[in-house]
Structure 1
Amino acid sequence: MVSWAVTGATRGIGFGYIDNLSADPNNQVFALIRSLSTAGPLQELAGKRKNVHIVVTDLYDIKKLGEAAAKVSKATGGSLDVLILNAGSAGPHTNVLPPTAFIGKEEALEKEINENMKNNILSPMFVINSFLELVRKGQEKKIIFISSPSGDLEFTRITGIPSVVGYSAGKAGMNIIMTKFGAELAPEGIKTLSMSPGWVATDAAEQVTGEPEVRKYMLNAFHKIDPTVTGPTPVAEAVASQLKTIRGLTAENSGKSVGRFGNNDWF
């Protein structure tokens, strides 16, 4: 049985991972979530599939993360095969602003950067370090960070998108940290990967790109990368391609930052 732990699993891509993985009874799936109050669909799925385990924790609290790791350890016999760091946040409402819009708004800029560093760098690092001993004893030994093309220099340069400053910096920062984890842990056979899911049809994406004018702007930007893009990919399809890449992760491509197909195809 292969054990998987996924953060941010109540909706969107995270829930898509739980749904896909738990369809195979040979998988043991742990959904690490912040609260049961928004976990209705997840609880319903767990009621139908006994290989789904819901673990409520706080991704910023080392003590609670340790308790979560202990619960997973008890269920698996002390190991974890794959850790997927999906939880993240675009930060405060100032994420729509380009860099120069923060002139004279230094407090807003500090909040924009600090919240994203906490959500997209510190939290994933806390989770990795809390679950590392379990991954060390797993068979697959894989740690996956769900990133974003917003954190890629060439993607940003070509598309010309100047907003989501803190979010982009957070994702880019965690990308390099994942490479450093990979470099450090390679002698132990542990593999890491930063992977962008692309433009996926989640509730969060709809909130950002749902307005017709915003959608038109994003499509025009994305067409500079891929002229065939017509809209977001369904969650199930995006997750299936990501899982194929995760399963194909080897020591040779550990530490890379890629799209969901395992290359630089962001969509």
Structure 2
Amino acid sequence: MATYLITGASRGLGFSLATALAREPASVASLVFLVSRNTSTPQIAELVGQSKGRVIPVQLDPNVPESLRAAVEFVGTRVQGKGLDVLVNNTGVMRFTGGKVGNLTSTNLTEVFHTNVTLTQLVTSAFLPLLRQGSRKIIANISSTVGSITLGPVFSMNSAHAYKISKAAMNMLTMQYAVDYKDEGFTAFALSPGWLRTDLGGPHADLPVEVGTKEVLRYLKEAGPTFNGRFLNIHVPGWEDAPGSNRYDGKDAPW
């Protein structure tokens, strides 16, 4: 039985993933901690009610140290000394610059970088003691292939410059955890879930959120030492050699 904690889980991929985990047997997901700044929404209440106690909302604003400490203490009491098995850093924000990177403002870059990288670091480091107590010790960071330096020319028409920069930085943060904590039995990896039709991805994205959710869940269940330090791309049949910029071939994405 594994325990999962998902940040940014009040909507989009995070909520969809929490919902999918709640449908799994308890032998796969015994507890699912649904983390968000706002956990008082009708859809969260409905999911919690249907889960028979397996989905647990956790109110957290990682910008506030007291909120972060309280969340860690709360999760610690609920896992009862068994630790946390899987941390999914899903929180993310995207802003479009408009035009070339020279138009990127310090405010835009700082805001996006802070949410996508700094808060990922704060949450991961805070929950590290509970992950040490867990049996799986998985850190999964939701990234994007638009943050691939190698694929920079492919996504040159995308003007979400701060988002691309922040995801490249998140990938390096992931690698640092993979290197530093490998000897303790940790597995840290980055995963691109595809361009999904969520509030962040927009209505014209490639894939329904359910498709990305299914693939992310597959990777989370399969994750182990062979995943450590990798940047993974989901697999969607028919998208392996798509003519556009996005290809979902299930292979390691280039850094």
**1:147-158 counterparts in 2 under 5 A?**
147-158=143-154
Q: CA deviation at 1:88?
A: 0.9
Tell me the TM-score normalised to structure 2 length.
0.86
1:233 to 199, 204, 207: 207
RMSD across aligned positions (CA) = 1.8
Distance 2:91 2:152 in 1: 22
Q: Does 1:200 align with 2:208?
A: no
Q: Does 1:22 align with 2:18?
A: no
**1:104-143 counterparts in 2 under 5 A?**
109-143=105-139
Q: Paired residue for 1:4?
A: 4
Q: Paired residue for 2:103?
A: 101
The runs of 5 or more residues in structure 2 that have no matched partner are: 236-249
Deviations 1:8-48 (A, max 9, x none): 111110001110001124121000110135x2211111011
Distance 1:132 1:159 in 2: 34
CA contact under 8 A between 1:33 and 1:56: conserved in structure 2?
yes
CA contact under 8 A between 2:230 and 2:252: conserved in structure 1?
no
1:142 counterpart letter in structure 2 = I
**1:14-93 counterparts in 2 under 5 A?**
14-26=14-26, 27=29, 28-37=31-40, 39-49=41-51, 50-78=53-81, 79-91=83-95
Q: Paired residue for 2:181?
A: 185
Q: CA deviation at 1:148?
A: 1.2
Could you say if the C-alpha distance between residues 87 and 252 of structure 1 is closer, same or farther in structure 2, counting changes exceeding 3 Å? same
Could you say if the C-alpha distance between residues 264 and 188 of structure 1 is closer, same or farther in structure 2, counting changes exceeding 3 Å? closer
Q: Does 1:263 align with 2:248?
A: no
- State how many pairs are aligned: 235
Could you say if the C-alpha distance between residues 158 and 100 of structure 1 is closer, same or farther in structure 2, counting changes exceeding 3 Å? same
SS of 1:96 mapped into structure 2 = coil
Q: CA deviation at 1:265?
A: 6.7
Distance 1:63 1:191 in 2: 28
1:43 counterpart letter in structure 2 = A
Q: Paired residue for 2:246?
A: none
Give aligned-pair identity as a percent. 27
Q: Paired residue for 2:222?
A: 248
Tell me the TM-score normalised to structure 1 length.
0.83
1:161 to 153, 157, 165: 157
Q: CA deviation at 1:64?
A: 1.2
Distance 1:203 1:180 in 2: 30
CA contact under 8 A between 1:99 and 1:163: conserved in structure 2?
yes
Distance 2:206 2:42 in 1: 24
Q: CA deviation at 1:193?
A: 0.8
SS of 1:9 mapped into structure 2 = coil
1:134 counterpart letter in structure 2 = L
The runs of 5 or more residues in structure 1 that have no matched partner are: 103-108, 216-230
2:201 counterpart letter in structure 1 = A
Q: CA deviation at 1:246?
A: 2.1
Distance 2:118 2:201 in 1: 23
- Whichever structure has more helix as a proportion of its residues is 1
Q: CA deviation at 1:59?
A: 2.0
Q: CA deviation at 1:86?
A: 0.4
Which region of structure 1 is more displaced relative to structure 2, 24-33 or 168-177? 24-33
Q: CA deviation at 1:167?
A: 0.9
1:13 counterpart letter in structure 2 = L
CA contact under 8 A between 1:151 and 1:168: conserved in structure 2?
yes
Distance 1:170 1:98 in 2: 17
CA contact under 8 A between 2:231 and 2:253: conserved in structure 1?
no
Q: CA deviation at 1:242?
A: 1.2
